[in-house]
């Protein structure tokens, strides 16, 4: 059974930036909010992948973090994988101060 639902987590994890842009920019934020909480078998969502992958184009990272209201993006930012890690944990581990600051500014604790 094939689903027509865009798979944002797959697009980001596969570094398919054209598909990622298509999903983010051609669907309303109320719809892409649902895609942000999609997870893979590890329990990672698109923001987990964006925080662990240093090759994410800045425009995609900005769109992921700033296209949604804090209440829309909070479930994805606070989502824990199978080991209890959030996207913020990945950003801290990757020593990306700019990314850590962006995550905290988008959804302050």
Predicted local distance difference test score (pLDDT) of residue 3: 58
Give the predicted TM-score (pTM) of the model: 0.86
* Residue 103 clears pLDDT 60, i.e. is over it: yes
Q: How far is CA 12 from the centre of its chain?
A: 8
- Residues 68, 33: contact at Cβ < 8 Å? yes
Distance CA(104)–CA(109), nearest Å, equals 7
Distance CA(80)–CA(43), nearest Å, equals 7
């Amino acid at each position: 059974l094939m689903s027509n639902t865009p798979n944002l987590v797959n697009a980001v994890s596969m570094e398919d930036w054209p598909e990622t842009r298509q999903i983010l920019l051609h669907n309303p934020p109320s719809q892409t909010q649902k895609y942000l909480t999609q997870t893979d078998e590890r329990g990672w969502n698109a923001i987990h992948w964006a925080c662990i992958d240093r090759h994410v184009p800045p425009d995609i990272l900005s769109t992921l973090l700033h296209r949604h209201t804090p209440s829309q993006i909070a479930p994805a930012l606070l989502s824990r994988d199978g080991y209890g890690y959030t996207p913020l944990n990945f950003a801290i581990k990757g020593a990306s101060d700019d990314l850590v600051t962006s995550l905290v500014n988008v959804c302050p604790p």
